C-alpha cells in the first residue's frame, strides 16, 4: 500500500476523558503506511508516495459511531448499507456499530455473520454488528465473542426483541460475558401514560408518553442489574438530566452516551420541526439539554453517538401517532459538534474523545479512536472555517432528509481515510472501489475505565 504523508496538520489528541486537562492540539506530520499510522512526528521530507498539505486544517481520529440503524436486511426502503456508509464517509465516520433490529433481527450468531457478509460487499467504511437479546436466546448470547456487544430493548421494540421481564434480564446479565447496552424506557410506564392521555394526534404528547419517569425507571433498573452482576453495561441515548443520578457514582461497569438530538433539540421544537424530531427516547427540555452537556464535560457520559434511524419522509409525514420515531444523523454529527467548537462551547480534544476514543474503548475496538503510532489510519481532516448549510437534497443517506435541513454550520470534514486509503474528499467525492473491514473486538481489556491510555492494538 502506498505511503501517505499528511503534512502541517493541526493534530487533535483526545486525552483520556478522566483528567479534564488532558488532550491537546499540535501541528505535526502524520506518516501512514500499510493501513497504519507509522509516525505522528514524521519529518516533512519523509519518504512517501503522496503528500497532503494540511496547513490550516485539523486532523482527527475517524469517528466511531456506536449506535446506528442501517436497516439492512429487510427495511431497505428506508436505508441500506451502501447509502449509509457513503453518509458515514462524508461525515467523517470511519467505523459504525449497527443495532440488531433488522428483518430478520440479528439474534443468532449466524444472523450477525449474514450482516457482516453484506457489509463486506457494500460498506465503504468499517463495520460491526451487535447481537440482539430476546427472552430466550441466552445460549446464543453466551456463545458469541467477536462482536461489539449485546443489545437489549428494555422498552418497546419490534418483533420479539422486547426484554422486559425481570427473570429474563437477570439471566442475560448473569450468564453472558459480552458488554451489554440497552434502550432504557420502561414499557409499563409508557403504556400507562398513553392510556392516561387517551387517543391523541398532538405530536408533543410523544414526550409526555415517553416521559422522564419512563427513562428513569428503566435506567435505574438496568444500572442496578449491572452493578449487582458486575457486568459491563452501556446506557444508550440518555435523554434526561434525571437519569444522571444513576450514573454519577463511579463504577467500572457503567458507561453512557448521548445523541446530538438530545443535546440540541427540545420539546418546543415540535412546533417548528414536527415529526422530524420524533424520537425514542423522546426529546425533552432545555434543562435536560444543559444537564447532558454538563454530564459530558464531567465524564458522567462518555460517548456521543447518533442513533441514526431513518424513515422515508412519506412515513414521517403521516399524522401522529402513525408517524414512526427516528431520524438520520450520521453524516452531520461531526459537523454539528464542530459547530459547537466554533461557538466556544466545547473543545476539539473533547470531540475526539467523545466521538472516537471513548466508543472504541467502551467496545474494545482495537486500533481505533486515536492518532498514534500503531493505530489504524482511520482519519478525518476538517476545516474549522468552512461554512455549509445542511440541505435535504444533498444528503447521502437513502432517506434524503435531515432534521437540521436549512441549518448553517461552521466546521466540516473535507477528507476521510479508512485504513490509510482516502474514501471520500469534498473536492473529488467517493472512492467507490473502497471497502471497509470488520475490526477486532477485544473485551479482555476491560472497557472504558481500564483503557485510559487508549485501546491500542
3-state secondary structure (DSSP) of residue 82: helix
Alpha-carbon span 225 to 254, nearest angstrom: 11
- Say how many C-beta atoms besides its own lie within 10 A of residue 53's C-beta: 12
Partner residues linked to 9 by β-bridges: 28
**Torsion sign, CA atoms 270, 163, 165, 302:** negative
- H/E stretch holding 223: helix 212-229
In angstroms, what CA-CA distances link 225 with 140, 156, 168, 169, 230?
20, 19, 12, 8, 8
- Confirm if 67 and 236 have CB atoms less than 8 A apart: yes
3-state secondary structure (DSSP) of residue 181: strand
Alpha-carbon span 289 to 245, nearest angstrom: 15
Strands (E), 259-407: 303-304, 379-389
Q: 307, 357, 376, 378: which is the annotated catalytic residue? A: 307
Alpha-carbon span 65 to 415, nearest angstrom: 17
Nearest to 60 by CA among 301, 354, 285: 354
Partner residues linked to 421 by β-bridges: 418
DSSP state of 452: T
List alpha helices for 317-364, DSSP H: 333-342, 348-352, 358-362
Partner residues linked to 379 by β-bridges: 61, 417
Cis-peptide into 350, omega within 30 deg: no
3-state secondary structure (DSSP) of residue 50: strand
DSSP state of 153: E
Sorted by sequence, the CB contacts under 8 Å of residue 400 that are 6+ apart come out as 313, 392, 393
Provide φ and ψ at 382, rounded to 5°.
Answer: -125, 150
Active site residue 205: no
- Confirm if 162 and 155 have CB atoms less than 8 A apart: yes
Nearest to 141 by CA among 97, 102, 115, 180: 180
Catalytic positions, written as ranges: 307
Amino acid at each position: 500500500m502506498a505511503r501517505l504523508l499528511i503534512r502541517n496538520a493541526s493534530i487533535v489528541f483526545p486525552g483520556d476523558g478522566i483528567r479534564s486537562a488532558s488532550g491537546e492540539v499540535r501541528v505535526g506530520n502524520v506518516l501512514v503506511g500499510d493501513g497504519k499510522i507509522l509516525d505522528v512526528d514524521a519529518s516533512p521530507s519523509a519518504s512517501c508516495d503522496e503528500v497532503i498539505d494540511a496547513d490550516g486544517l485539523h486532523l482527527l481520529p475517524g469517528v466511531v459511531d456506536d449506535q446506528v440503524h442501517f436497516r439492512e436486511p429487510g427495511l431497505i426502503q428506508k436505508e441500506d448499507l451502501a447509502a449509509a456508509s457513503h453518509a458515514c464517509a462524508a461525515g467523517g465516520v470511519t467505523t459504525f456499530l449497527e443495532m440488531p433490529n433488522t428483518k430478520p433481527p440479528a439474534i443468532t450468531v449466524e444472523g450477525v455473520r449474514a450482516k457482516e457478509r453484506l457489509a463486506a460487499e457494500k460498506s465503504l467504511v468499517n463495520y460491526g454488528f451487535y447481537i440482539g437479546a430476546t427472552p430466550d436466546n441466552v445460549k446464543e448470547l453466551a456463545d458469541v465473542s467477536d462482536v461489539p456487544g449485546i443489545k437489549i430493548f428494555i422498552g418497546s421494540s419490534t418483533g420479539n426483541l422486547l426484554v422486559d421481564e425481570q427473570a429474563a434480564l437477570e439471566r442475560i446479565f448473569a450468564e453472558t460475558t459480552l458488554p451489554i447496552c440497552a434502550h432504557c424506557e420502561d414499557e409499563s410506564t409508557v403504556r400507562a401514560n398513553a392510556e392516561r392521555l387517551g387517543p391523541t394526534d398532538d405530536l408533543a404528547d410523544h414526550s409526555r408518553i415517553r416521559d422522564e419517569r419512563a427513562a428513569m425507571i428503566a435506567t435505574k433498573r438496568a444500572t442496578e442489574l449491572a452493578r449487582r452482576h458486575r457486568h459491563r453495561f452501556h446506557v444508550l441515548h440518555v435523554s434526561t438530566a434525571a437519569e444522571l443520578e444513576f450514573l454519577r457514582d463511579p463504577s467500572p461497569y457503567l458507561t453512557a452516551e448521548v445523541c446530538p438530538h438530545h443535546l440540541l433539540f427540545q420539546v418546543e421544537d415540535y412546533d417548528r420541526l414536527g415529526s422530524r424530531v420524533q424520537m425514542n427516547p423522546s426529546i425533552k427540555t432545555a434543562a435536560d439539554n444543559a444537564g447532558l452537556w454538563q454530564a459530558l464535560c464531567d465524564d458522567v457520559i462518555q460517548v456521543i453517538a447518533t442513533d441514526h434511524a431513518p424513515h422515508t419522509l412519506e412515513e414521517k409525514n403521516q399524522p401522529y401517532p402513525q408517524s414512526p420515531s427516528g431520524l438520520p444523523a450520521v453524516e452531520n454529527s461531526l459537523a454539528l459538534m464542530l459547530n459547537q467548537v466554533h461557538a466556544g462551547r466545547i473543545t476539539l480534544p473533547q470531540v475526539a474523545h467523545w466521538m472516537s476514543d471513548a466508543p472504541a474503548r467502551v467496545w474494545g475496538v482495537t486500533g481505533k479512536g486515536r492518532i498514534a503510532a500503531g493505530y489504524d489510519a482511520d482519519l478525518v481532516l476538517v476545516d474549522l472555517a468552512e461554512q455549509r448549510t445542511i440541505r435535504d437534497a444533498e444528503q447521502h443517506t437513502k432517506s434524503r432528509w435531515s432534521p437540521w435541513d436549512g441549518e448553517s454550520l461552521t466546521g466540516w470534514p473535507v477528507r476521510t481515510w479508512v485504513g490509510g486509503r482516502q474514501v471520500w474528499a469534498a473536492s473529488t467525492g467517493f472512492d467507490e472501489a473502497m471497502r471497509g473491514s470488520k475490526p477486532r473486538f477485544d473485551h479482555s481489556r476491560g472497557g472504558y475505565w481500564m483503557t485510559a491510555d487508549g485501546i491500542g492494538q
